[in-house]
Structure 1
Amino acid sequence: MQEFTVIFQPGTIKIRAAAETTIMKAMNQAGLGTDFPCGGRGKCGKCRVKVLEGVSDPIATEQAHLTRQELEEGIRLACATKIYRDMVIEILSPGHLQHNILINSAERPFYIQAHLKKLFIETSQPSLSEHKSDWQRLKEALAARGFNDNTLQAPLSLLRRLPETIRQSQNRLTAVLLDSKVLGIEQGDTSAVMLGMAFDIGTTTIVGYLLDLNSGKELAVVSTLNPQAQYGGDVISRITFAGNAEGLDLLHKAVTDAVNKLIGEAVGKAGRKRKDIYAVSVAANTTMHHLFLGISPQSIGVSPYVSVVNQGLVVTASELRLDINEAGQVFVLPNIAGFVGADTSAVLLATELEKSEHVTLILDIGTNGEIVLGSKHKTVACSAAAGPAFEGAQITNGMRGAIGAIDHISFADRLEFTVIGGGNPAGICGSALLDGVAGLVELRMINKRGKFLEPDKITHPQSLRFKDRLIQYEGAWAFLLADSGETLHGRPIMITQNDIRELQLAKGAIAAGVRVLLKTSGLEVEDVKEVLLAGAFGNYLNPHSACVIGLIPRELEDKIRMIGNAAGTGAKIALLSAGEFSQADDIASAVSFVELGSYSKFNTIFAENTYFKLD
């Protein structure tokens, strides 16, 4: 097959790509790790690149997403343009920029109860008078420490290295055990060295915490974007991509490689070694959970949307190709349902909702919103397909919460906004879209259906100073945030009529989910005593804006509390305490899942909640 040379800038990354390969595939081949929010289906128009040499005529998809001037300048969509000649390409997509990744979370007290035990022992000397095997003498040494030597087991790999280890250590060694299984043997006394890593694997980001399993001390925190984003920005895109063995393996390898890389970064920060890590815990939504384990998520994507496994799992690190101690084990928290995963179980473990006397509402808002309502008496949960609005995909100038994104907007005497990292903006992320639309609602510049008022119909005194920002865009009104001279890329940044519609669909889904859970539980809004916002988007949004647009009932604004990366907290607790990890299964199984699609009045409730309240 014919190949061509492709050079990517900034920098000079050169690869050879097969003819008819898309630029997107060439970027993945080059390891650029760029974000493709719609999975390369040509729906979002976010994967803009500039072809400096070797540009070809645009196809219909590119003509639909790009302006005539952009096309004339050689701007193309990486997912659409194919390689037919040598090319030089400039990367324009903000996907490669540094993202804000939430790593902090509230902590709670618990007892440390290590999953694995390390015991320093001395085996007896072999002799001609007693022909005891190496394994028998090891079992007897452990029996002296309280273990039943009749139940002890060891893998073949350990027995293979036992004679060398026991003799080189002169019968003084450390055994690594999980219940009655001897997983490892080490020369000398290494019982004081036992580290673990807790991971929160999200659709967009991965956060890892390096912990001392004996003391519980946090030694390092590391994070990265989930490299699976190059195959799709949301779980549905990835489920589709994993439809065959090759796609599943690519997604599995992408996430395990990322975890291995983070492990290396963490031990490097702490001045430790990979072999010091004996346990890993994982909290993830159901799709990420399956992909991490190499399990096909296809059953999650089709009705009735069931997972392959819900219970907590213990797997060997070697089976997942994790580069830690050879005795290492991976503790995967339980899922609740197809679209309410182990990350929600981790949040519940962290917040101890099952012990609460008062009713609490927990929201983890993203492309897929998980909602939990309950107390010690009853807990219900649902998943609301919020769509891409909160993550920036399919928003005209949308982007994730990366350097260059407008993240908050305020309307006072004049329009003001803040940009992540400072400087000129490159786009708008979900929290800013929320602020912007909330401001338009309060200024009465849009009606209850979300439609812009004509400039001559705007009469609200405070809104008059902003009506000059109403501009025409693709035959409809839009609100200008920054003109072309104020932006990083020279294109105006605005909130369009379509953006408002996307936000209405997203907030309508979340709000309807809350209403359905209230009705299912026989509760009213006033019965809710506390609202906990978990996850990145929930902790960056302005609670007032969320209440103004109706994402969260207005009556609850004073009851909102941010709890940071609660899934990360749950993962840490599950790593440090075997009892808490076991408890997570009980917590998850006690949650009643409500399938919104089968709720008889859901469509009506959803439609009602897409409207804005202007009172």
Structure 2
Amino acid sequence: MKKYKVVFRPEGQVIDVFEGSTVMKAIKEAGVDFDFLCGGGKCGKCRVRIVEGSIKTHVEEKAFLGEKETSEGIHLACFTEIYSDIVVELLQAKAAQHQILLEAGERPMEIIPHICKKYIEVRKPSLDNHLSDWKRFRSSLFQGESQYTTMLETEIAVLHQLSKALRANQYHLTAVTYGHEVLGIEEQDTTQKLMGMAFDIGTTSIVGYLMDLHSGRELGVVSTVNPQTKFGADVITRMNYANQEEKGLERLHDAVTQAISKLIGEAVEKAGLSSDDIYVVTVAGNTCMHHLFLGLDPQYLSRSPYTATTSEPLILNAVKFPITMNPAGKILVLPNIAGFVGADTVAVLLATQMDQSEEIKLMIDIGTNGEIALGSKHKLFACSSAAGPAFEGAQISSGMRGATGAIDHVVFEEKLAYSVIGGGKPQGICGSGLLDVVAGLIEHGIVDKRGRFLPIEKITSAKAEGFKENIVQYEGMAAFLLADENTTLHGRPILVTQKDIRELQLAKGAMAAGIKVLVDKHGIAVEDIKEVLLAGAFGNYLNPHSACVIGLIPKALEGKIKMVGNAAGTGARLALLSSGEYKRGAAIAEFTQYVELASYPNFSSIFAESMYF
């Protein structure tokens, strides 16, 4: 089969692909950063411009592209097939422009390092003392302990180094240990250099925290959009890619491990350190991200009864894992609770100390797969709510992630006002902005509790008068105009359509139903909840009032809402700095009772009721 050359601008990358391949497939194979929100074929967001080469407009593109865009050479990467050499201009915001939540809180804790360093002097051998180098090294390292407690584990590489290193350094060495395991030996006294990194691997973004393991001081924060987004925006799409595409799992695994290595390099460079100074890495992520990070086949997560390969805490040897750090180090992976309630939830619970609270608290981490936890030190329940892609912008007509150009907040005052991430002209609307718009439409009597636009003549609220001119027709149905084509960057209007409201209803209904189920399972009333903790990026950027107006969060809890930042990152940092906190994370995973919503009695009716605004 014939091959053709594809050049990507502005990256400058070049790849040869087989005739008939789509531009989307070429982007993935080339490893170019590009965000396929829906995985292909559904949302119309993967716009590219064909600068050179002959391309026919696919019939299915016409549902998403106007005549003006088509005349300018714009196509959708997922539909566009390649039958000649082409040059492709990528039209998405760069990964660095995405709004990523970096802030992680702090709380009192005792620093108990996982790995220790000790500078020791080893007794020299003699004709009267011909014990092995290893035995004398072991005796110096664990003075006063019996021979049974000093039966050390080690890698063969340490023994390869030992004899020569002892003699080259006058029998003084730094030993790197994990319990009674010798991980490595280092020349000179390197005991002051002991750093680690905590990672929150989200579906959309990855955040890493560089920490001094002696003092607990944060030395830097780095982040990136999760490069797996080019294989699909949500976990289901990525699991399908891993299961159905040749080398799909390998590509997803490589993408995340390479991104983490790159972030480590970026963090240590900024701090004037080396990647060899990183001895411990902790990882938190949802169960799918956990499996892809480890290179574990996620196919059984996507099939009932949604079973993980492992949910236990894992401690891995860095030397055997593809991450750039000190080969003598350890990688600690926090445990999962269930198939769709992962280590990121464990990290949030660890950070917020819900497992030690006398009062009942509700934790909500809103995303494509929203995680919810409810309880106290006496009992703790958790569930996963399949909220769908509405909060992330996929399948919303003008939707996009929280990146430069996104309308993130909307206010209904005398006139409509909105803010745009990064300033300038808007390109779309992200989840928090969509919440504000729909809440405003409800409060102004423009949309009813069923989520339907009212006919103009039935909109009787006086405060709605100033916004009636924003109600337009789109594909034969009512829509709300936020920005016309003259005020947007791309020259297309930004609308919230009737279909968009339905998508939001599905997402908010799933989250609200999850909360109702946990309240019922716990046997309490909503009013018994003393505090609502909003975790994660979306939860920290949304307007709590808007969330309560649409019923995402019960109205009775509006005055009890607290944003807790990137609590998953906080939990990963705690687990990094203290072996005690890491063990507590494992205990939390065991203590938390998972509730499967799909099999909960009357869940269908609970969900249907939760759809109403």
Normalising by structure 2, report the TM-score: 0.98
Paired residue for 1:152? 152
Q: Encode CA deviations 1:470-511: one digit per residue, 9 max, x unaligned.
A: 111111110000000000100000100010000000000000
Q: Distance in 1 between matches of 2:401 and 2:144?
A: 54
Q: Structure 1 residues 483-492 or 308-317, which shifts more?
A: 308-317
Cα distance in 1 between the residues matched to 2:162 and 2:146: 19
Q: Does the Cα contact within 8 Å between 2:282 and 2:572 map onto a contact in 1?
A: yes
The letter for the 1-side match of 2:346 is S
Aligned partner of 1:288 in structure 2 is: 289
Counterpart of 2:84 in structure 1 is 85
Q: Partner residue of 2:194?
A: 194
Partner of 1:125: 124
The structure-2 alpha-carbon separation of the partners of 1:135 and 1:433, relative to structure 1 and needing over 3 Å to count, comes to same
Name the structure 2 match of 1:430.
431
Could you tell me how far 1:11 is from its partner in structure 2? 5.8
Q: Secondary structure at the match of 1:484?
A: coil
Change (3 A) 1:35 1:161: same
In 2, distance between residues paired with 1:402 and 1:150? 54
Asked if structure 1 preserves the Cα contact closer than 8 Å seen for 2:4 and 2:18, the reply is yes
C-alpha distance in structure 2 between counterparts of 1:342 and 1:373, whole Å: 16
Q: Is the Cα contact below 8 Å between 2:96 and 2:225 reproduced in 1?
A: no
Equivalent pair of 1:361/1:530 in contact (CA under 8 Å)? yes
Matched, 1:136 2:109: no
Q: CA deviation at 1:429?
A: 0.2
Structure 1 residues 165 and 147, CA gap change in structure 2 (3 angstroms): farther
Note the alpha carbon deviations across 1:560-597, whole angstroms, 9 max, x for none.
Answer: 00000000000000000001101111111101110000
Separation of aligned partners in 2, 1:402 and 1:20: 32
Please give the per-residue CA displacement for 1:539-570, whole angstroms capped at 9, x wherever unaligned.
00000000000000001000000000000000
1:267 and 2:287 are equivalent in the alignment: no
1:467 pairs with 2:471:
no
AA in 1 matched with 2:101: L
Aligned to 1:17: 17
Cα separation, 2, equivalents of 1:97 and 1:161: 42
CA distance in 2, matches of 1:13, 1:141: 55
| Structure 1 residues 276 and 97: CA distance shift in structure 2, 3 A | closer
Give the aligned partner of residue 73 of structure 2. Answer: 74
Question: Match of 2:362, SS?
Answer: strand
Q: CA RMSD in A?
A: 1.4
Structure 1 CA distance for aligned equivalents of residues 310 and 51 of structure 2: 49
Matches within 5 A, 1:198-347: 198-243=198-243, 246-347=247-348
| Contact preservation (8 Å) 2:284, 2:334 | yes
Shift of 1:15: 3.6
What amino acid is the match of 2:166?
Answer: I
Mapped partners of 1:96, 1:32: distance in 2: 11
**Bigger shift: residues 138-147 or 407-416:** 138-147
Aligned residues of 1:532 and 1:562 also touching (Cα < 8 A):
yes
Shift of 1:132: 1.6
8 A Cα contact 2:205 2:223, kept in partner: yes
- Aligned-residue offset at 1:127: 1.9
CA contact (8 A) 1:172 1:187 kept: yes
Q: Does 1:567 align with 2:562?
A: no
1:156-199: CA deviation from partner (whole Å, max 9, x where unpaired)? 12111212222222210010111111010001211111000000
Cα contact 1:256–1:320 (8 A) shared by 2: no
Give the Cα–Cα distance (whole angstroms) in 2 for the partners of residues 441 and 421 of structure 1.
28
Structure 1 equivalent of residue 603 of structure 2:
602
| Closer, same or farther: CA 281–356 of 1 in aligned 2, 3 Å | same
AA matched with 1:61: E
CA distance, structure 2, for counterparts of residue 94 and residue 64 of structure 1: 23
Query: Residues 369 and 384 of structure 1 are in contact (CA less than 8 Å); yes or no, is this contact kept in structure 2?
Result: yes
AA in 1 matched with 2:337: I
- Structure 2 residues without counterparts, runs of 5 or longer: none
Name the amino acid aligned to 1:236.
Answer: I
Partner of 2:357: 356
The DSSP-based 3-state class of the residue aligned with 2:207 is strand
Give the 3-state SS of the residue equivalent to 1:16 in structure 2.
strand
1:308-336 residue CA offsets vs partner (Å, 9 max, x unmatched): 11111100122221111110100111100
Give yes or no for contact 1:94–1:399 (8 Å, CA) kept in 2: no
Could you tell me how far apart the structure 1 residues matched to 2:486 and 2:584 are?
A: 56
Q: Matched residue of 1:381: which SS?
A: strand
* Aligned residue number for residue 399 of structure 1: 400
Q: Deviations over 1:322-380 (max 9, x none)?
A: 11111010011110010000000000110111111111000000000000000111100
Deviation at 1:63, TM superposition (A): 2.2
Shift of 1:274: 0.6
1:315 match: secondary structure: strand
Aligned residues: 611
Q: Secondary structure at the match of 1:486?
A: coil
1:510-589 correspondence to structure 2 within 5 Å: 510-589=511-590
Q: Gaps (5+ residues) in structure 1?
A: none
- Can you list the C-alpha shifts for 1:404-453, whole angstroms capped at 9, x where unaligned? 00000000000000000000000000000000000000001011111111
TM-score by length of 1: 0.97
Deviates more, 1:186-195 or 1:526-535: 186-195
The amino acid across from 1:83 in the alignment is: I
Aligned to 1:106: 105
Contact 1:525 1:555 (C-alpha < 8 Å) held by counterparts: yes
TM-fit CA distance, 1:147:
7.1
> In the alignment, what sits opposite 1:52?
51
CA contact (8 A) 2:279 2:325 kept: yes
**Amino acid of the residue matched to residue 157 of structure 2?**
S
- Does the Cα contact within 8 Å between 2:95 and 2:225 map onto a contact in 1? no
CA–CA distance in structure 1, aligned partners of residues 144 and 19 of structure 2: 66
Secondary structure of 1:330's aligned partner:
strand
Give yes or no for contact 2:285–2:343 (8 Å, CA) kept in 1. yes
Question: Secondary structure of 2:556's partner?
Answer: helix
Partner Cα distance (2:95, 2:21) in 1: 21
Secondary structure at the aligned position of 2:152 is classed as: coil
Residues 1:446 and 2:447 aligned together: yes
Quote the offset at 1:144 in angstroms: 1.3
Q: Quick one: which amino acid aligns to residue 66 of structure 1? A: L
Aligned residue for 1:243, secondary structure, equals helix
